[in-house]
Amino acid sequence: MRYSSCTWHWWTAFFNRDSDYGSRLIMTNSSPKPQPVSQPESDKYWDGLKGEKIWLQRCKTTGKYQFYPRSISIHDPESGPEAIEWIQASGKATLYTYTIVHIAPHFGFTQDIPYIAALVELDEGVIIPTNIVGVSPEPENLQIGMKLKPVFDHQNNGYSLLKFTPE
């Protein structure tokens, strides 16, 4: 029987694991949640959340907003970084879509399940990933298009996370 090189490499990697391989994969209920990573183009966004403000980038040439923060406009990339300006968002949003999470995607979230992961559309037109809080995670409590207001979840690590709750 002949094996493809792909299969051969997979089995080689499988059988030649070091003895510590399994311990590197094990996490416990006390595992920390993944944390945001601030970068120069997103510092204003994260700093704004600490002060309970939502800052969005807007393209100066087209007037369109963008999220997540980037170093150039997605609406006019040829203009370069000088085409970007920061505007404080209203915070008003509507529920675009959601799912109720019953299986934690990371061990750091096991204490939170079930919870509502959602995409919300801000009045400025951008759609952002978030969590819906302040309501029981049951489908009858959620309706696509429902009005939402921001909640700022201040973390111990110095970051604040943007979440939403029904108006």
**Domain locations in the chain?**
38-89, 90-167
Q: Alpha carbon of 128 to those of 17, 79, 91, 148, 154: distances in Å?
A: 40, 24, 12, 13, 18
The pLDDT of residue 160 is 94
Instruction: In whole angstroms, give the CA distance from residue 20 to residue 114.
Output: 33
- Give the global pTM: 0.79
The answer to which of 28-32, 62-66, 83-87, 148-152 has the lowest mean pLDDT is 28-32
More confident residue, 67 or 5: 67
Q: Per residue in 76-110, is it b (16+ CB within 10 Å) or e — as a string? A: eeeeeeebbeeeebebebbbbebebbeebeeebbe
Architecture of domain 90-167: Beta Barrel (2.40)
pLDDT at 87 over 90: yes
